[in-house]
Chain A
Amino acid sequence: MAQASLAVDGISKAFGETRAVRGLSLDAAPGEVIGLLGPNGAGKTTAIRILTTIYAPDSGSFAVDGIPYTRPSAIRQRIGVLPESAGYPLHQSGEEFVQYFARLFGQSRKSARETAKTLLAEVGLAERAASPISMYSRGMRQRLGVARALVNRPRVLFLDEPTLGLDPAGQRQILALISEAATERGATVILSTHFLDEVEEVCSRVIILNRGEVIAEGPVADIKRRAAPRTARVRVPEENHESALSALKRAPGVGDAQAVNGGRGLISATLDGSDTNAPIRALLEAGIPILFFELEGGKLSDAFLALTGEAGA
């Protein structure tokens, strides 16, 4: 494997009795977008704050671009961060704001000006660059935050809930920026979010945290397959209930079939493989009319809910 831009080895962090992160490990390659999922309080923000050197880990270690965590200042040179609740100096213009941060990363006045101009154009704020941030919408501020996070051409970009509170158009803009950062700049992106469709859209891998622990990790497709096997719900006439159950249980590609809530006519069939037509075929071959058919599961949200035990919530 090529040099990982982010290598995390069993980091843990506790606040008093609360263990916020327990033994988180991961490797991330350049250009990879990794989704960090988990319910509220799962430890996503704490994990990001450890990796961005805000908190020191209680145990474990990590390295960014080969720089060990014991050299936080050098790590900060290589990371870009959009914190969960990023505030902005409302009296400054977007241009001044980005310039300021570029200068904090050691750029000259001239270079910082050019960086600000380029980045603001990239995030679609060129025309509003001179306006005070107080005049920006939430979506514009988030894009400004992304621009600021990119001032140092980071090797790893940490984005904590970047689309929270944005309308669909704003979400799409941010997601496009994230993809660009990964594909065009070769940055590793760690994306913490509640929005599972975002993860499905832009992330190559996902890590699901619950109560500080990693409960699932891997490519999105794997997680979906592992955690949420697809099921089919079918409704047949009540008089065909027993024969339908028998036909489905015998059918190839169907693992099991059960009446839903003990009701007559409504059956849930678990699929063994990827053949989603298997239940339909089995019922038609048995001459049983189908009143209703629906596929369930197979989405990341189902996997997420199943893994985090929030299905019933």
Chain B
Amino acid sequence: MTTLTPEDVRREPALQLAAGAGGGWLVIAGQELRDIWLSARGPAIVIGTSLLLSLLTYLAASNEELNIIDQRDTVNLLAQITMALAVGVSLLFTADCVSGERERETLESLLVTPVPRGQVALGKYLAAVSMWPVLLIVAIPYIWVLREGEGVFADAMLGALVVGTLLVIGFVSLGLLVSIFSGSNRLSLAVAFFIFVLLLAPTQLPLGGWFGDLITQTNPMTAGSTFLHRAIVKEHGWGEDLDLLIAPAVWAIAMTGVAFIAAGRLRLQGSFGR
């Protein structure tokens, strides 16, 4: 048996470089981006979204029932739908990113590279987030043609950018977190999607009273949705409803922090649902 001395350790030859030291996340993000955007997945989602927005835009402009709604309402509708789609899709991407690799038996090969676990997670995280700016860009022409009146386009784009970014960051982190601990991809997708629906549902419900206010303020989805509604439809100035951005911001920061702490403990096997 060879005895290792500190001298032996110092004798270590220079490392090849880099990937392990800092650039691995970039390589992984690049590969993941290619997997999303050069395969059918990303394009199909974007084209599907554009078809949905086309349909809604046409109906909004043509149907007499919809003419009841103020144009600002229609713009708000498109912005919110784009945002909800981006959040849902990005969430599903990260919910698959670790547990999916486990299931496809490709995770072990990745874990024996010198890229630190946190960087593996970061690369996948960034690729999943890429869906959001693309969908927002796709929504631009629709919101542009439906805009009417001063500042509605700017209100919608800026509001969606801020609220959507916070929500996407939070939910992508949630997906990553669930995926890190989930032993099965199906479980990971189910748990992540369930939480998404649970938080999205109150935006579809009439909320009133102190409890309604509490939900609106504390649920990042309802808070973000209400903020966007007030900015676009009610023409509120940004300073008026800044409190509604607290929940999405806290959600984004907290989930990201927790997810990346967990990513450092990424294991070959999941903790539950094996």
**Chain A residues near B (Cβ < 8 Å):** 1, 3-4, 7, 9, 25, 27, 49, 52-55, 61, 63, 65-68, 73-74, 76-77, 79, 81, 83, 85-89, 91, 100-101, 103-107, 148, 152
Are B4 and A63 within 8 A (Cβ)?
Answer: yes
With A76-B20, A81-B112, A104-B115 given, name 4 new contacts (CB 8 A). Answer: A3-B2, A25-B1, A85-B105, A87-B109
The answer to whether B112 touches A73 (Cβ under 8 A) is: no
Which residues on B sit within 8 Å (CB–CB) of A91? 35, 39
- What are the residues of chain A within 8 A of B268 when measuring CB–CB? 49, 54-55
Main secondary structure of the interface of B (DSSP, over half): loop
Chain A residue nearest to B113 (CB atoms) is A104
Q: How many A-B residue pairs have CB under 8 A?
A: 104
A73 touches B114 (CB 8 A): yes
Q: Which residue of A lies closest to B27 (CB)?
A: A103
Cβ of B19 and Cβ of A103 under 8 Å apart?
yes
Interface: B205 (CB within 8 A): no
Chain B residues, CB < 8 A from A9: 1
Closest CB-CB distance, B12 to chain A, in whole Å? 6
Interface positions of B from 36 to 91, Cβ below 8 Å from A: 39
Name the B residues within 8 Å of A68 (CB-CB): 4, 9
Whether A104 contacts B2 by the Cβ 8 Å rule is no
Cβ contact within 8 Å between A87 and B105: yes
A104-B27 in contact given A63-B4, A63-B8, A66-B8 (Cβ < 8 Å): yes
A-B pairs, top 6 by smallest CB distance, nearest first, are A87-B105, A106-B17, A106-B18, A106-B19, A7-B2, A104-B113
- Residues of chain B in range 134-157 having any CB-CB distance to chain A below 8 Å: none
Could you show 14 A-B contacts with beta carbons less than 8 Å apart?
A25-B1, A54-B108, A54-B112, A67-B12, A74-B20, A76-B113, A79-B112, A83-B112, A86-B109, A87-B109, A104-B110, A104-B114, A106-B18, A148-B109
A-chain residues with CB within 8 Å of residue B112 when the two chains form the complex:
52-54, 76, 79, 81, 83
Task: Tell me if B271 counts as interface (CB < 8 A to partner A).
Answer: no
Give Cα A27 to B2, complex, Å.
7
A-contact 0/1 string along B88-116, CB 8 Å cutoff: 00000000000001001110111111111
A168 CA to B17 CA in the complex, in Å?
A: 39
CA distance A113 to B110 in the complex (A): 19
Residues of B within 8 A of A81 (CB): 108-109, 112
Query: Is residue B245 contacting chain A, with contact meaning CB distance below 8 A?
Result: no
Please give me the residue from chain A that is nearest to B13 by CB atom.
A65
Determine if A100 and B27 form an interchain contact, defined as CB atoms under 8 angstroms apart.
Answer: yes
**Which residues on the A side are within 8 Å of B15 (C-beta)?**
74, 77, 106
Q: Which residues of chain B are within 8 angstroms of A1 by Cβ–Cβ distance?
A: 2
Q: Choose from B12, B17, B104 the contact partner of A87 (Cβ within 8 Å).
A: B104
CB distance from A279 to the nearest CB of B (A): 42
Q: Does B23 contact A (CB under 8 A)?
A: yes
Please measure, in the bound complex, the distance between the C-alpha atom of A7 and the C-alpha atom of B110, giving whole angstroms.
Answer: 24
The answer to whether B114 and A87 touch across the interface, beta carbons within 8 angstroms, is no
By a CB distance below 8 angstroms, the chain B residues around A73 are 20, 114, 116
Q: In the complex the two chains form, what is the Cα distance from A103 to B25 in whole Å? A: 11
- A52-B112, A83-B108, A106-B114 are contacts. A152–B16 as well, Cβ < 8 Å? yes
Residue contact B114 to A76, C-beta cutoff 8 Å: yes
- The answer for the CA separation of A55 and B24 in the assembled complex, in Å, is 21
Are B111's CB and A54's CB within 8 A? yes
B28 at the interface (CB under 8 A from A): yes
